[in-house]
Amino acid sequence: MALDQELVLRLTELLADEPDIGEKRMFGGHAFLVGGHLTVAASRTGGLLVRVDPDEAPALLERDGVEPMVMRGREMRNWLHVAPEAIRSKRQLQPWVRRAVAFVRGL
């Protein structure tokens, strides 16, 4: 599956008013950084990669379309993969972006 350029544009729009945002091609996807910290990314395999508070991850994993992010066979402790069908609308995508930005700003 190719990188979802529409998702990249939607993320760019949602993050437009945030200070200290950077963008970078990473892992075949398109990542957004807050203060130099990786925060969210449009995955090369489709969907959203989102950084979350590890204490909140178990509850978030109970949502439809959400699974642990796995890299090289290993679950990434505070990263989740949100399926494309779970972020089709702005109403679905925006809370994930806000959650990730808030978590990273608190690091």
Give the model's confidence band at 64: pLDDT under 50 very low, under 70 low, under 90 confident, else very high: very high
| Topology (CATH) of 5-105 | Aspartate Aminotransferase, domain 1 (3.90.1150)
The reported pLDDT for the residue numbered 1 is: 60
51 within 8 A of 61, measured Cβ to Cβ: no
How many Å apart are CA 101 and CA 95, to the nearest integer? 10
pTM of the model: 0.92
Indicate the pairing of strand 21-26 with strand 48-51: unpaired
The reported pLDDT for the residue numbered 77 is: 83
Where are the chain's structural domains?
5-105
The reported pLDDT for the residue numbered 45 is: 86
How are strands ordered across the β-sheet holding 21-26? 21-26, 29-34, 37-42, 48-51, 74-82, 66-71
pLDDT in tens, 24-48: 998 789 999 999 999 999 999 899 9
How many Å apart are CA 80 and CA 104, to the nearest integer? 14
The reported pLDDT for the residue numbered 82 is: 98
